[in-house]
Structure 1
Amino acid sequence: MKKSILVIDDDKTLRYSLSKALKRHGFTVHEAHDLQSSQLILKNEPVNHVLLDLKLQKESGLVLAQSILAQWPQLNIVMLTGFASIKTAVEAIKIGVKDYLIKPVSIEEILNSFQSNNQGNSDIEINESTWSPKRLEWEHIQKVLLEHDGNISQTAKALNMHRRTLQRKLQKKPVKK
């Protein structure tokens, strides 16, 4: 079966950019913005992968992922989010989502997620330089810290982390990739 992906995101611009990038990597791309349109595509088109936003306008990506996997358990779903939390990451993995990526995300990271879930499908060309989970955490903390103008208390609150824990993490040097 040819590489085929369904991109589900309510942001039309992001959906378009992701689709364009995925087409350049040889995917047949289908686009949807909600549960109804995604199910219509899944019923009528051969799809191997689903790239799903966590936060859609009226629906939760977690609910949507659960619904899709109930009908099509063979699909590889990778969830994207700009609102990452440990709670939603754990819930996504419990549902059966194969990977949980934090925006902004590169096309290489997306392709890497699908490859790792395809037992090394060599059809997907990727950049092998991925970051460790500790490095991802460090980068995310730095991003949130920047968004809160360096305010430790506000950053800790946004990360749902105790302030002292955050301070200890910040005292450590950045971890290597």
Structure 2
Amino acid sequence: MKLLLIEDDLAFARTLMRRLEAHTQAQAHADCVQSALFQARQLRPSHIILDMNLNNESGLLLLAPLRSLLPSARIILLTGFASIATAVKAVKLGADDYLAKPVSMALLLATLEDDIVHSHVSHDDEIMSPERLEWEHIQAVLTRNNGNISQTARQLNMHRRTLQRKLQKKPVAN
């Protein structure tokens, strides 16, 4: 896998790059929007880890340009301020996954290697409602946590009882 890490926290970026070194063929790091787009054009990565907050700029602004430049790349958005609204927006803009910091290395690797579950809409004529996107995202995170509701609630940054109420509802239609 070719990996592009877009992260402005240099200490975190160095640590993450070292940990992912054994799992990648090539790596690149960018700490701002301009550098990220340049590195994406040069490396043509298969996987991108994108920080939500880049030096007072939103990582969400990069999703559309990255998706158009690299339509088949797996894009994972990392954030220290997770919310359902932001997760839905990120998925609509082209992110495949949305993970809250701090993220375990095991979860990050599982997400990077998971090419079966894609959260983003693959057909232009098939647009999902925000409620359906939320349901799909919750189900994907729950599956990755082997049905552990407490762990899933922590990763989604919501109370466990709130998650249980959402899971008791029937899935909404597209």
**TM > 0.5:** yes
Which deviates more, 106-115 or 3-12? Answer: 106-115
* 1:91-110 alignment runs, 5 A limit: 91-110=89-108
Q: Specify the alignment match of 1:23 in structure 2.
A: 21
Q: Is the 8 A contact 1:35 1:64 kept in 2?
A: yes
CA distance in 2, matches of 1:140, 1:114: 16
Q: Specify the alignment match of 2:11 in structure 1.
A: 13
Q: Is the 8 A contact 1:79 1:101 kept in 2?
A: yes
Give SS of 1:78's match: strand
Selected match of 1:139 from 154, 160, 168: 154
RMSD: 2.6
CA distance in 2, matches of 1:48, 1:60: 22
CA distance in 2, matches of 1:25, 1:44: 20
Q: Specify the alignment match of 1:169 in structure 2.
A: 161
Please list every run of at least 4 consecutive aligned residues from structure 1 whose deviation after the TM superposition is greater than 4 angstroms.
none
CA distance in 2, matches of 1:69, 1:133: 31
| 1:4 and 2:2 correspond | yes
- Taking every aligned residue pair, what percent have the same amino acid on both sides? 31
In the superposition, the TM-score normalised over structure 1's length comes to: 0.68
Q: Is the 8 A contact 1:98 1:117 kept in 2?
A: no
Give SS of 1:21's match: helix
- The structure with more radius of gyration: 1
State how many pairs are aligned. 137
* 1:26-45 alignment runs, 5 A limit: 26-45=24-43
By how many angstroms is 1:34 displaced?
A: 1.2
Q: Is the 8 A contact 2:33 2:54 kept in 1?
A: no
CA deviation digits over 1:106-158, x for unaligned, max 9? 22211111221267xxxxxxxxx9424733343358xx7xxxxxxxxxxxxxx
Q: Which runs of 5+ in 1 are unaligned?
A: 120-128, 145-158, 160-165, 173-177
In the superposition, the TM-score normalised over structure 2's length comes to: 0.69
